[in-house]
């Protein structure tokens, strides 16, 4: 009898670790407004792509040169992601290339996940990224790598990715729905641009005096191509030298 009582309870925790997250977030006035304005439209978008809200899993892909954030989604029990929408990045700082220290005004490049939801941001709503990651720490020689990198509202930035207050309402709502459906980590892949062969050749010419950047982008391209060819997320590992491995 003990096994029959506890097993379903434990299974519920494992499968739905984020249940109740939406309720918690809706205690914040800005999140309430976001859900009022955006939830119905998002649910229609997801339904049109065959994605069920209770089985929702999402993935974000950022392209710095194109100034775009793509939102992809799927059901837990399917492998292939489908593109739901995209958002324009309305301000930027720094140049193409990874972030290696505090104060360099760079937007990071690499493979991250959303680790913070801030419903009381100075930039309306914000989603915090897991920068610096293990790769960033391996490559940087700085005492301070910086932090507090967000996707947020408004149209001002020093190293973040702003998409206007209106659009962050939508993206924040989508991320809350995914977390509430049980997605613990929402991956965010950040690239200098769409890493096609032609784009990488262009970067090699433009940044010929920065061979470290080029080698890093060649490594990122492997992760970009994995998703492009499969519409599935690779498992991402970091080697001892800081470069990524994808499986």
Q: What is the pLDDT of residues 29-85, one digit of tens each?
A: 999 999 999 999 999 999 999 999 999 999 999 999 999 999 999 999 998 999 999
What pLDDT, on the 0 to 100 scale, is given for residue 18?
55
The predicted model gives 114-137 an average pLDDT of 97
Question: Who has greater pLDDT, 15 or 45?
Answer: 45
Q: Where are the beta strands (DSSP E) in the chain?
A: 56-63, 68-75, 82-88, 110-121, 124-129, 150-152, 161-162, 186-191, 236-238, 244-246
Question: Do the Cβ atoms of 151 and 99 come closer than 8 Å?
Answer: no
Question: Do the Cβ atoms of 18 and 179 come closer than 8 Å?
Answer: yes
Task: Give the C-alpha distances (Å, rounded to integers) separating 87 from 15, 61, 69, 183.
Answer: 30, 10, 5, 21
Question: Do the Cβ atoms of 235 and 124 come closer than 8 Å?
Answer: no
Q: What is the pLDDT of residues 142-200, one digit of tens each?
A: 999 999 999 999 999 999 999 999 999 999 999 999 999 999 999 999 999 999 999 99
Q: What is the pTM of this model?
A: 0.91
Question: Do the Cβ atoms of 57 and 75 come closer than 8 Å?
Answer: yes
- Residue 188 β-bridge partners: 60, 112
Q: What is the pLDDT of residues 82-106, one digit of tens each?
A: 999 999 999 999 999 999 999 999 9
Backbone angles phi, psi at 212, to 5 degrees: -65, -40
CA 206 – CA 209 distance, rounded (Å): 8
In the sheet that holds 186-191, the strands lie side by side as: 82-88, 68-75, 56-63, 186-191, 110-121, 124-129, 150-152, 161-162
Per this entry, what is the length of the chain? 247
Q: Which of the residues are catalytic?
A: 152, 160
What pLDDT, on the 0 to 100 scale, is given for residue 172?
98
């Amino acid at each position: 009898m003990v096994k029959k009582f506890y097993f379903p309870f434990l299974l519920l925790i494992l499968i739905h670790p984020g249940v109740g997250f939406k309720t918690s977030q809706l205690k914040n006035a800005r999140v309430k407004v976001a859900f009022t304005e955006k939830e119905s439209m998002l649910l229609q978008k997801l339904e049109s792509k065959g994605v069920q809200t209770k089985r929702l899993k999402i993935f974000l892909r950022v392209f710095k040169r194109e100034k775009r954030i793509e939102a992809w989604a799927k059901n837990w029990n399917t492998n292939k992601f489908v593109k739901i929408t995209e958002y324009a990045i309305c301000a930027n700082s720094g140049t193409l290339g990874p972030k290696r220290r505090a104060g360099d005004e760079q937007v990071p490049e690499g493979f991250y996940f959303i680790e913070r939801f801030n419903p009381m941001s100075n930039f309306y709503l914000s989603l915090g990224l897991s920068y610096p990651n293990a790769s960033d720490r391996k490559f940087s020689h700085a005492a301070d790598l910086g932090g507090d990198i967000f996707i947020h509202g408004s149209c001002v930035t020093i190293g973040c990715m702003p998409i206007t207050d209106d659009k962050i309402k939508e993206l924040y709502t989508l991320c809350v729905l995914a977390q509430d459906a049980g997605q613990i980590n929402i991956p965010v892949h950040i690239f200098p641009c769409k890493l096609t062969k032609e784009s990488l050749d262009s970067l090699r010419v433009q940044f010929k005096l920065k061979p470290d950047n080029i080698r890093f982008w060649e490594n990122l391209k492997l992760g970009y191509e994995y998703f492009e060819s499969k519409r599935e997320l690779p498992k991402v590992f970091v080697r001892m030298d800081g470069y990524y491995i994808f499986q």
